[in-house]
Amino acid sequence: MITKFFSKNITYIKHISPLEDNIVIEPSMLKYKTYYYISRHYKLILKHIFDELNYEAVIILEDDLDVSEDFFSYFNATYHKLLKKDKSLYCISAWNDNGLPELINLNFYIGLYRTDFFPGLGWLMSKNLWDEIGSQWPTGFWDDWIRKPEQRKDRMCIRPEISRTSMTKFGAVGASKGYFFNAFLSRIKLNEIYVDFNNLDMSYLLEDNYEKYYMNMVYNISKLVSFNNLPHYINQSISQENHLLRIEYTTFKEYQSITKLLNVMRDFKEGVGRTAYKGIITTYKNGLRIFIAPNKNNWKGYNRSWEYIP
């Protein structure tokens, strides 16, 4: 797909391999050496793109990912309409961590969200962000590092309902050695319907607009249901799609029980659940838009001690 668009404009850049460069890794971390090689590779290529070539933005795409037909339409529109205008954003991602076919609305091709969680796996970075954090780029585990509050600074990413990237079979032999590949990564749905995002109004995704719109939908419009009653709703036959339900949590245990029932990702990074926006996770089941939302009266922000252990 990439070569289809850029077959005459591909530049191959090669740097010295980590083995030839004799990079130093602590003995206790040698089993994770691939993650150090990857982080070094990112730093070298980003320095070249931003510091030497002086580009204003870059789309970072791992070599085991495929892309949708509207991949570039998505990034072009979200970059110019959102990231360049809204300082509360720090990335655009093509990936939905909960993007399994049974967890999304397959007809919501234009659906976009704000999220506190950095998704990666096909994402756009601006030179402004590189200028801010590039000098502190870590020697390993760059993605965990960029999710830390010290880098995120309460900023958010844009992500789609239906992913604009998907894993190819090569992902099974990647750095994680196929971890979660068959059960999860390989099953993320790739969008198949072309959307010209340049023709869409995205102003609702700007910070002030989105908070009013989304929080009203979650806490005022959706119907509050209990954990015990939730299976009744998601298993019943419905006549109309897009009913809105909300199930609330206060404790870590409650959150884990709900996410397990709905089969969405249960892990955290720095206390932030995958796809979360102000603690809210959304999924789609049996024609129902479901919000897993913190109780507003008790939620004080993300708790970095929350950690899911399989």
CA distances from 304 to 20, 113, 198 (A): 38, 23, 37
Is there a contact between 166 and 188 (Cβ–Cβ < 8 Å)?
yes
pLDDT for residue 177? 52
> DSSP string spanning 207-244?
HHHHHHHHHHIIIIISEE--TTTHHHHHHS--SSS-EE
Q: Which residue has the higher pLDDT, 19 or 35?
A: 35
- Asked whether residue 139 carries a pLDDT value surpassing 90, the answer given is yes
Which among 243, 226, 219 is positioned nearest to 293, based on CA atoms? 219
- Asked whether residue 8 carries a pLDDT value surpassing 90, the answer given is no
Which DSSP letter does residue 188 get?
A: P
Tokens 């850029």 belong to which residue?
Answer: 6
Q: Which residue has the higher pLDDT, 158 or 185?
A: 158
pLDDT for residue 18? 87
Q: What's the chain's average pLDDT?
A: 93
Is there a contact between 106 and 162 (Cβ–Cβ < 8 Å)?
yes
At 175, is the pLDDT very low, low, confident or very high (cuts 50, 70, 90)?
A: low
Q: Looking at residues 272-289, what average pLDDT do you find?
A: 97
Domains and their CATH numbers in the chain: 2-186 (3.90.550.10), 217-294 (3.10.180.20)
| Burial class for 40, CB neighbours closer than 10 Å (0-12, 13-18, 19+) | buried
pLDDT for residue 180? 64
Catalytic residues: 143
44-80, pLDDT tens digit by residue?
Answer: 999 999 999 999 999 999 989 999 999 999 999 999 9
pLDDT for residue 21? 85
Using DSSP bridges, classify how beta strands 243-249 and 57-60 pair: parallel, antiparallel or unpaired: unpaired
Within 10 A of 39 (CB to CB), how many other CB atoms are there? 19
Which among 188, 36, 63 is positioned nearest to 122, based on CA atoms? 63
Distance CA 187, CA 290 (A): 21
pLDDT for residue 238? 65
- Asked whether residue 130 carries a pLDDT value surpassing 80, the answer given is yes
- Asked whether residue 191 carries a pLDDT value surpassing 60, the answer given is yes
- Asked whether residue 183 carries a pLDDT value surpassing 90, the answer given is no
Is there a contact between 140 and 29 (Cβ–Cβ < 8 Å)?
yes
251-267, pLDDT tens digit by residue?
Answer: 999 999 999 999 999 99
- Asked whether residue 132 carries a pLDDT value surpassing 90, the answer given is yes
Helical segments of 68-141, H only: 71-78, 127-133
Tell me, what amino acid is at 138? P
Is there a contact between 166 and 66 (Cβ–Cβ < 8 Å)?
yes
Percentage of the chain beyond pLDDT 90 is 81
pLDDT for residue 105? 97
Tokens 């894993």 belong to which residue?
Answer: 167
pLDDT for residue 309? 82
